Structure 1
Amino acid sequence: MQEISYHILLNARSGAAATGAITPQVLQEFFSSRGDIVSIDADTSIPFAKRLQRAAASPAKVLLAAGGDGTATALAQVAIEAGKTLALMPLGTANLLARDLSIPLVVEKWLEGLAEMEPRRIDVGEVNGRIFLHKVVIGAVPGIALAREQIRGRSDLAAKLGFFAYFVRRLARIKRFAAEITPESGDPRIERVQSIAVANNDYAAGVGQVFTRPRLDAGTLSLYLVRHLSFADALRLGAGMLMGTWRTDEAIEIENVKSLVIRTRSRRLNAMVDGEVIGLEGPLTFRIRPLALSILAPKPAPEPAVEPTAAVAVGI
């Protein structure tokens, strides 16, 4: 009997799935044309945790997350624990991991390119035992993200103007909070900030590179402290991201670490984990898990050759 090649977890509310462009029938026909045997879970009537348990129990060696960043992160945790490879069909809004790995964002291109993808090992971050693929943010951003969720799917002008007005008011009212930060090698220190972000590997600073990570295997977490975030700061930082100058902005401090602990006065914190706002119990304990995840992705582009210097050429 032929083994199951892929177990597919389809988020029916994401992108192309929500519009009907990607259905279980479409996926079944595509993989059958390749000679693959697949199991497809598109049953949204079942609790998501139960669907993840099904994925973990599947005999398939590859778990395919057909959805957004939240679906990818949840299934990545299962893949790591079960010793399986993750595949990612990006159907969400941001698709940050897919962008970093050059995974095609257009469904037709993804289907065409699957045959050329191969398993790659990448790092994952972990907070209180829960993995993240992109970043964890506490402070001002999660509250703004929750407001954004309330108008998701709405394209009318009133909704957009209402969110913008809320965004401006929120920035004007944001207060700094004290956080005790303890890196793996160093003494605890108190920082007064408006937001803290911890990213899996570091974000690049280049023209047009917004939240882009050139490497996912450097084995480090990046700590970003936002000391003040007024509306003017937000505009300046946004322009800096487009111009490639944001890393030197006065409002931000950046530090690379392997692990750290963050304590605040709050016992429970709202945190944005890979785009999803959840509650986490303090203190927050972070660590990097180098090369913990196997994921199907296109071959990385070869690094440009370095011309030998004259000294090297003569053997000095």
Structure 2
Amino acid sequence: MSSENLDVSSELKSDSSFADRTKSVSIAEKTSVIAVEATSTGVEGRSHAAETSTDPLAQPNDELNKCVVVVNKESGTVCDLWDDHFEAELLERLKANGWEPGLKLVKGEEIEETVVAAKSRKIGGLIAGGGDGTTNSIARLMLGSDIPMGILPFGTLNLAARDLGSPLEPLDAVASLYPGRTREIDALELGDRLCLCMAILGVYPELLNKSEEFHGRNWWRKFTKLGSDFFKAFLSSPKMELSLGMDGTKAERVKSRMLIVVPGHFQDDFGIIPKRESLEGGKCTLLVSKHSSAWSLFRMIGNFLLGRSAQDPDLEVKSAATLSINALRRKKVLLAIDGELAKFKVPLKLDLKKRALLVLDPKASEE
């Protein structure tokens, strides 16, 4: 798909400075990119490991039990959890599952180069460590690859990890990943961006753009603050005039304060954080809000929490594999894609790529 739809000056909300949050964490003394083998010999042992590298990036190999773990040290709670003991335990759990792991601890700006280098080798897995933004960025680079991608959740919501059924504690999550246990899932392309979980247009991304950054594992704090602000903003914001084209059919005009596109569809289950099912169904679910009163908004929230959003009379539900969105009297629109903000030129085309992303399946460890 052409990248002309994507504004070159895409505005992404980045995490707070890693340096500001790591004064008391020993990892701050490490280099930006580290390839290590878990040992009990401390710093000297790490130097020896580097000289006799077992990092899959350092030497060619044909063994598919080798994996590379790429951790964004600027994501979520990495700086709160990471120390020598945590690192050694993580690598030991991978080894216990049959992996020969190599670790890359990098800044956000170094992720693409690191992933591209890893893909050039014959490895059996690339595990992405970070929040939903990091997972999304690495998934875009892994799309169409025959190297499966695993998820190591260090974010606030960890949407993709939840959808796959992964444990949300990083050490438990990594213990659920085994060589060769994979599945293929759908991914939604928007220009040269990728959406794994949901893309939201309207009140929510506009509110998120103005709100204070929050990163941490206590996601309920973020939801409590956003929930109060969202209710006020929703009722006071004007409706967008949109033109929606689905699967090549004639465009339909709608008025809405919020539109959500989901690869697959949400489970009909209780919960504050939505969880998807049917990750390889080849269709997107389009949720168009028609709510206009305080009562209808309360009802929407209640139905959402109870897993009955499809039964909401003011929520129009559609299904399509390709979608075109045009916002009348606007040149650009702001979307929240898996929690990260980006601006796009309109009309914006969305294309679902069926089973285009190969992932390590954490639920396979239960079988």
TM-score norm. by structure 2 comes to 0.71
| Structure 1 position 148, deviation (Å) | 4.1
| Structure 1 position 166, deviation (Å) | 3.8
1:227 — aligned with what? 290
SS of 1:217's equivalent in the other structure is coil
Cα 1:204–1:20, aligned 2, differ >3 Å: closer, same or farther? Answer: closer
Cα 1:177–1:111, aligned 2, differ >3 Å: closer, same or farther? Answer: closer
| Structure 1 position 241, deviation (Å) | 1.9
Task: Tell me which of 134, 147, 157 is aligned to 1:94.
Answer: 157
- 1:1-316 equivalent positions in 2, closer than 5 A: 3=63, 5-21=66-82, 24-32=87-95, 36-44=99-107, 46-115=109-178, 118-152=181-215, 166-208=229-271, 210-228=273-291, 231-264=294-327, 265-297=329-361, 298-299=363-364
| Structure 1 position 137, deviation (Å) | 1.0
Q: Deviations over 1:105-127 (max 9, x none)?
A: 12342243323871111111111
**2-side partners of 1:228 and 1:69: how far apart?**
28
| Structure 1 position 196, deviation (Å) | 1.2
**1-side partners of 2:177 and 2:214: how far apart?**
34
Say which is worse superposed, 167-176 or 250-259, in terms of deviation.
Answer: 167-176
Cα 1:168–1:43, aligned 2, differ >3 Å: closer, same or farther? Answer: same
Q: Deviations over 1:161-213 (max 9, x none)?
A: 87566434422321101111111142111111111111101112234485222
**2-side partners of 1:163 and 1:209: how far apart?**
13
**2-side partners of 1:248 and 1:149: how far apart?**
33
Cα 1:32–1:56, aligned 2, differ >3 Å: closer, same or farther? Answer: same
CA contact (8 A) 2:66 2:99 kept: yes
Cα 1:260–1:38, aligned 2, differ >3 Å: closer, same or farther? Answer: same
Cα 1:99–1:184, aligned 2, differ >3 Å: closer, same or farther? Answer: same
Cα 1:86–1:58, aligned 2, differ >3 Å: closer, same or farther? Answer: same
**1-side partners of 2:305 and 2:222: how far apart?**
26
| Structure 1 position 90, deviation (Å) | 1.6
**1-side partners of 2:365 and 2:233: how far apart?**
41
SS of 2:177's equivalent in the other structure is helix
**2-side partners of 1:36 and 1:168: how far apart?**
47
Counterpart amino acid of residue 235 in structure 2: A
Cα 1:104–1:16, aligned 2, differ >3 Å: closer, same or farther? Answer: same
Say which is worse superposed, 63-72 or 167-176, in terms of deviation.
Answer: 167-176
| Structure 1 position 31, deviation (Å) | 3.7
Q: CA RMSD in A?
A: 3.2
**1-side partners of 2:212 and 2:103: how far apart?**
28
Unpaired stretches in structure 1, ≥5 consecutive residues: 303-316
**2-side partners of 1:260 and 1:291: how far apart?**
18
Counterpart amino acid of residue 276 in structure 1: E
**2-side partners of 1:154 and 1:122: how far apart?**
26
CA contact (8 A) 1:210 1:241 kept: no
Unpaired stretches in structure 2, ≥5 consecutive residues: 1-59
Say which is worse superposed, 245-254 or 234-243, in terms of deviation.
Answer: 234-243
Counterpart amino acid of residue 9 in structure 1: V
Q: Deviations over 1:24-53 (max 9, x none)?
A: 554444445556433322122744444444
| Structure 1 position 146, deviation (Å) | 2.5
Count of residues in correspondence between the two structures = 300
SS of 2:133's equivalent in the other structure is helix
1:314 — aligned with what? none
| % identical equivalent positions | 21
SS of 2:277's equivalent in the other structure is coil
